[in-house]
């Protein structure tokens, strides 16, 4: 394995930080960074695009010389269309070569706003309105996608919109549409034809995070945020020119754009785009290890669900020895899946943690040091993490003690400049510039961070953030529903899935099926449609009348663990399951079982460990024998 600044412990980080971060790089903007990287070897391959998993041996490849040329052309085109440093270019694109040109070209001339094209049209419209989008770049009418239809439906509802650029489609001057392929070569690719004076604190990107109801939360990230984060990650993983990295996560997400985008591209690395749909393309998963053999990547990023899927793909005679590690994040990884995947693949899993608001990553288990399974590791260089104790109103009281649960707080060059709408900025800053992540965690005696749940209410389904408000607001519009609370339920495949608890009006005849039908029709994002609707006589409230969601989450955990433990059949029966708050683990499940006839407790304990292995909520177990 390649080594550079070898990080094993916190003291290694402190040694690295004796050199000020600003002395490690001079680039003031993304264009300068990529232009310098392209000059390392203009003939080296920057991007390889695989149309699908079956065609992995016939990639479309772009050299660094042509890559930087396309970025200049794209920036010049956008400038010609009136984009300035404060103007926003929103893109609705799958993972294409053109997505990278738009991403970096838009940051060169103005501000880029990557948006999930799978969102419903109304949610996309709200994001564009909040961002004050000037130009939308979208995939033209293509089989298997409805992106173009969504753009057509919302274009007249975005007051700031002046032009639409169509990828894979012709221009239509009457409708203000430019065909990218048709016009791009009219623009200079050797230099920028405009003179922009960059400041490192200029906003480079607006990333959508959280909900899509009401006014969307758009995180404002600067050129300095993105450049410094790329350098901090590279200090940790040490990408070299021509090292290959595979990209299967979507290019509207910061992991794909930064960790497997800017990080390798800033070092002259080779980025392999695994089809327009990435990991959602089943042919990519089926041929994954063959693709590794063909492109010899150093690493790839994934979420736990992808590792679970890859366990079922034969490695065969594929040579995957080039892979030093896989970075896994965005959702908790069960200990069982961790061990199974490492044993099956021979790869090293490195768990990490980050937020859109921290540009992408701020913690990672050390490649060369101790990897504490279940933790998110040590902080990255120049990125500082502490646990803060807050009062009930969210005000800072003190720093936490070792292994005391509090709010994960982050400070450093990675931290964003707040949300576009100021109302979203209330309560996110602690004293001295620390960002309140909303996540709960603890820090052990070695400096490793362990997450312990979330103070904020986001539901994370397979690494995808879902705001409960999206579900709740849609269901509140249904007649006879008086109270709604959406929470995440543990799920063996996706980490957690959304479910909704509902109170209905007295004498109402609504059924769970009626409400589910409404949800499917009225929730603006498929991933947010609840997997279950539970009607309660009374939803639990706090003393001041707020919904007490922890009780509902505990109920969801209890129900799913009880359902799984029914798989014990005659081995044991469930006597009791209690779920509640825990000082060390955040949440703990206390399980009492009664052993079946002539069944030893050790046998039951082993079987329970197998059944509950995919789940990450801690449990303790007592098995009683019948005398």
pLDDT tens for 348-401 read 999 999 999 999 999 999 989 999 988 999 999 999 999 999 987 889 999 999
**Residue 211 reports pLDDT greater than 60:** no
604 close to 572: Cβ distance less than 8 angstroms: yes
What is d(CA 397, CA 436) in angstroms, rounded to the nearest whole number?
A: 13
Residue 264 in tokens: 């390798």
Lookup: tokens for 461: 């389904």
pLDDT tens across 296-354, in order?
999 999 887 788 788 889 999 999 999 999 998 776 677 777 888 899 999 999 999 99
DSSP string, 207-260: EEES--SSSPEEEEEEHHHHHHHHHHHHHHH---TT-EEEE-S-TTSHIIIIII
- Is residue 214 over pLDDT 70? no
For residue 444, give the 3-state DSSP assignment. coil
Q: Quickly list DSSP for 445-502.
A: TTS-EEEEEESS--EEETTEEE-HHHHHHHHHTSTTEEEEEEEEEEETTTEEEEEEEE
**DSSP H or E run through 534:** strand 533-535
Q: What is the pLDDT of the chain when averaged over all its residues?
A: 90
**pLDDT at residue 471, as a whole number:** 87
Q: What pLDDT does 213 receive? A: 47
Q: Which residues pair with 112 in a beta bridge?
A: 89, 205
- How does residue 244 score in pLDDT terms, banded at 50, 70 and 90? very high
pTM of the predicted model as reported, rounded to 2 decimal places: 0.81
Q: How confident is the model at residue 3 (pLDDT cuts 50, 70, 90)?
A: very low
Q: What percent of the chain has pLDDT over 90?
A: 65
pLDDT at 472: 85
With a cut of 60, say whether residue 212 has pLDDT above it: no
Q: In angstroms, rounded to a whole number, what is the distance separating the alpha carbons of residues 450 and 27?
A: 34
Specify the pLDDT at position 299: 93
Q: Which of 83-87, 118-122, 543-547, 594-598 has the highest mean pLDDT?
A: 83-87
Query: Which of the four pLDDT bands, split at 50, 70 and 90, describes residue 52?
Result: very high
Kindly report, residue by residue over 170-190, the tens digit of the pLDDT: 999 888 899 999 999 999 999
The arithmetic mean of pLDDT across residues 470-493, rounded, is: 86
Q: Mean pLDDT throughout 510-526?
A: 89
Q: Which residues contact 76 (CB under 8 A, 6 or more apart)?
A: 109, 187, 188, 192, 193, 194
Structural domains of the chain in order of their starting residue, each with its CATH number: 10-381 (3.40.50.12780), 383-416+425-456 (2.30.38.10), 459-537 (3.30.300.30), 552-624 (3.30.70.1350)
Q: What is the mean pLDDT of residues 127-146?
A: 95
Query: 420-457 pLDDT, tens per residue?
Result: 988 889 889 999 999 999 888 999 999 999 988 665 67
Is 4 a residue whose pLDDT tops 90? no
Question: Which two structure tokens, joined as six digits, stand for 625?
Answer: 């024998």
- Residue 466, CB half-sphere, CA atoms under 13 Å: how many? 30
């Amino acid at each position: 394995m390649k080594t550079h600044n070898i990080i094993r412990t916190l003291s290694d980080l402190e040694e690295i930080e004796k050199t000020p971060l600003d002395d490690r790089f001079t680039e003031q903007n993304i264009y300068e960074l990529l232009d310098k990287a392209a000059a390392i070897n203009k003939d080296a391959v920057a991007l390889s695009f695989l149309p699908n998993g079956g065609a992995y041996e016939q990639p479309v490849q772009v050299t660094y010389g042509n890559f930087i040329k396309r970025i200049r052309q794209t920036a010049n085109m956008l400038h010609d269309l009136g984009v300035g440093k404060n103007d926003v270019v929103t893109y609705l694109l799958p993972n294409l070569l053109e997505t990278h040109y738009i991403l970096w070209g838009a940051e060169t001339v103005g501000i880029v706003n990557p948006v999930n094209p799978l969102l419903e049209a109304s949610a996309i419209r709200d994001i564009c309105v909040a961002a004050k989008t000037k130009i939308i770049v979208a995939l033209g009418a293509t089989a298997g996608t409805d992106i173009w239809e969504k753009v057509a439906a919302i274009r007249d509802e975005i007051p700031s919109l002046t032009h639409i650029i169509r990828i894979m489609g012709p221009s239509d001057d009457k409708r203000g549409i430019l065909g990218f392929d048709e016009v791009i070569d009219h623009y200079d690719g050797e230099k920028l034809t405009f003179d922009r004076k960059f400041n490192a604190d200029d906003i480079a990107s607006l990333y959508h995070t959280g909900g899509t109801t009401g006014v969307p939360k758009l995180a404002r990230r600067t050129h300095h945020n993105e450049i410094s984060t790329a350098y901090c990650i590279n200090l940790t993983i040490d990408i070299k020119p021509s090292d290959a990295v595979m990209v299967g996560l979507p290019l509207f997400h910061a992991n794909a754009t930064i960790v497997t985008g800017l990080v390798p591209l800033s070092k002259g690395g080779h980025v392999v785009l695994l089809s327009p749909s990435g990991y959602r393309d089943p042919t990519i998963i089926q041929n994954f290890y063959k693709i590794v053999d063909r492109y010899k990547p150093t690493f790839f990023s994934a979420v736990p669900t992808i590792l679970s899927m890859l366990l079922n793909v034969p490695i065969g005679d594929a040579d995957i020895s080039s892979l030093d590690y896989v970075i896994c994040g965005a959702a908790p990884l069960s200990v069982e899946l961790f061990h199974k995947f490492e044993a099956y693949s021979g790869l090293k899993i490195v768990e990490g943690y980050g937020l859109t608001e921290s540009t992408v990553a701020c913690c990672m288990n050390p490649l060369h040091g101790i990897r504490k399974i279940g933790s998110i590791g040590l902080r990255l260089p120049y990125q500082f993490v502490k646990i803060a104790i807050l009062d009930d109103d969210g005000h800072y009281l003190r720093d936490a003690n070792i292994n005391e649960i509090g709010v994960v707080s982050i400070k450093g060059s990675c931290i964003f400049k707040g949300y576009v709408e100021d109302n979203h900025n209330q309560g996110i800053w602690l004293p001295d510039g620390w960002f309140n992540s909303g996540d709960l965690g603890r820090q052990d005696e070695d400096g490793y961070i362990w997450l312990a749940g979330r103070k904020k209410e986001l539901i994370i389904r397979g690494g995808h953030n879902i705001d409960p408000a999206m579900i709740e607001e849609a269901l509140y519009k249904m007649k006879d529903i008086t109270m709604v609370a959406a929470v995440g339920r543990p799920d063996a495949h996706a980490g957690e899935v959304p479910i909704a608890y509902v109170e209905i009006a007295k004498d109402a005849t609504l059924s769970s099926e009626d409400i589910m039908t409404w949800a499917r029709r009225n929730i603006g994002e498929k991933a947010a449609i609840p997997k279950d609707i539970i009607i309660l006589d009374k939803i639990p409230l706090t003393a001041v009348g707020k919904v007490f969601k922890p009780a509902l989450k505990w109920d969801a955990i209890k129900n799913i663990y009880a359902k799984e433990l029914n798989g014990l059949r005659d081995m044991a029966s469930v006597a009791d399951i209690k779920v509640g708050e825990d000082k060390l683990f955040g949440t703990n499940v206390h399980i009492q079982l009664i052993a079946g006839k002539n069944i030893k407790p050790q046998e039951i304990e082993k079987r329970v460990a197998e059944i509950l292995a995919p789940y990450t909520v801690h449990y303790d177990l007592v098995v009683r024998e019948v005398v």
